[in-house]
Amino acid sequence: MDAGSIPAASTKRNEPFDCFLNNEAVFSFLSKNKGKSMKALRVSVLNIYPIKSCAQVSLEVSPLDRFGLKYDRRWMIVDEQNVALTQRNIPLMATIKATVASMENGFNLTLLFGDQAHHIGLRDFSHHSLVERVSVWNDTCDGLPAPQKINHQLSEFLGTHCKLVYMPEDSQRFVNKKYATAGETVSYADGYPLLLTTEESLNQFNQWLGESITMNRFRPNLVISGSPPFAEDKWKSIRVGEIEIAVAKPCARCMIPSLDPESLEENPKVLTTLAIHRKQGKGVNFGLNIIPQSQGVIKVGDVVEILS
């Protein structure tokens, strides 16, 4: 979530990896497990977000294609200027649910909002109109608009003129060249194919916060268990099951983690606590933006190896 990242609060914790090197939780984790057979790191949660900035879908297994996890953020809601809308603009988007079923000749997308279900197939997008150019932060890429009826209903629900678009299979939106390893492509995600977090880092953050928030506020694709809190700050490359993955950069956070996706209530203390404890350079970070080095399959329970 680099775009719209929150400004870092003034703090004495200025070393880039201060939270990892000096965090008492790390030493507590190690001491509690001293003499025990350490469990392997594993994937504990696997999520996709079919529509950018809308509700998550949790999976047990997912194909990994050139965009990321299959169907992850392949749809997006845009305004009248074809610019992406997100929860930063419209928190109500968090309540829009979407499920995707693969079909012989495409897919069936089911949208749930306003107590109604709406079904759209690939044919509804590809035969509706010509490809349009849409904007995601600093990128411009392809989008096929949904039928007018669906877009009208979405506009009424969200209280603003908007439309749903689909990223076609032949679309080419490239990962930032500074971090890409081989010209990788990405969907309508903020900038990278996958986002990784760890259970232990959330547990430590909740201790700092003094209350418990759920991981879905951070919108990860992969959640890993079995690692000391914020050990991921030093990871450079990992293997998940059979898939090697390069770590691009830490994920700089905006206001979305402060928003409860169920109640839509905002808790400013979340951002304040992030700024105090997770300042790294110019960013306030939680999680990692990562880039798979091949296609394949990822599933819950996959062993995670730290390669470097």
CA torsion sign for 127, 129, 134, 139 is: positive
Examine the pLDDT at 146 and tell me if it is beyond 60.
yes
Where do we find the tokens 């206001």?
255
At 205-237, the pLDDT tens digits run 999 999 999 999 999 999 999 999 999 999 999
pLDDT attached to residue 304: 97
Q: Which residue type is seen at 75?
A: W
Which pLDDT tens digit goes with each residue over 108-135? 999 999 888 999 998 888 765 688 999 9
Q: What is the DSSP string of 89-133?
A: T-GGGGG-EEEEEEETTEEEEEEEETTEEEEEEHHHHHTTS--EE
pLDDT tens readout for residues 38-66: 579 999 999 999 999 999 999 999 999 99
| Mean pLDDT, rounded, for 287-295 | 97
Give CA–CA dist 62/46, Å, rounded.
8
Predicted TM-score (pTM) of this structure: 0.86
pLDDT band at 160 (very low <50, low <70, confident <90, very high): very high
* Residues 82, 200: Cα–Cα separation, whole Å: 39
Which whole number is the average pLDDT over 195-208?
98
From the list 161, 250, 193, the residue with the least C-alpha distance to 66 is: 193
Q: Hey, where are the domains in the chain?
A: 18-46+177-306, 70-166
**Alpha-carbon gap, residue 217 to 94, rounded angstroms:** 10
* Mean pLDDT value of segment 173-183: 93
Evaluate if residue 12 carries a pLDDT over 80. no
Alpha carbon 56 to its chain's center: 9
Reading the block at residue 26, the tokens are 């790390």
Q: Which residue has the higher pLDDT, 251 or 29?
A: 251
Say yes or no to pLDDT of 21 above 90. no
pLDDT for 128 equals: 54
Compute the mean pLDDT over every residue in the chain, rounded to the nearest whole number: 88
Dihedral sign (CA 94, 141, 253, 245): positive
Read out DSSP for 173-197? Answer: -B--TTT-SS--B--SSSSSSEEEE
DSSP one-letter string for 31-53? HHTTTS-PPPEEEEEEEE-SBTT
pLDDT for residue 171: 93
% of the chain at pLDDT higher than 70: 86
The 3-state DSSP class for residue 27 equals helix
Q: What angle do CA 180, 57, 4 make, to 5 degrees?
A: 50
Q: Tell which CATH classification among 2.30.30, 3.30.70, 2.40.33, 3.90.930 matches the domain 18-46+177-306.
A: 2.40.33
**Which is higher by pLDDT, 23 or 138?**
138
Q: Say if CB 296 and CB 64 are below 8 A apart.
A: yes
Residue 177 phi/psi, 5° resolution?
-60, -25
The whole-number pLDDT of residue 37 equals 44
pLDDT at 1 over 60: no
Instruction: Output the CA–CA distances (angstroms, integers) from residue 176 to 20, 58, 184, 283, in the order listed.
Output: 27, 27, 9, 17
Question: What is the predicted pLDDT for the residue at 140?
Answer: 96
- Distances in whole angstroms, Cα of residue 1 to Cα of each of 7, 13, 82, 180, 229: 13, 22, 20, 17, 21
pLDDT tens column, 230-243: 999 999 999 999 99
Q: How far is CA 235 from each of CA 156, 224, 227, rounded to the nearest angstrom?
A: 45, 13, 11
CA dihedral 218, 223, 225, 229 (to 10 degrees): -30
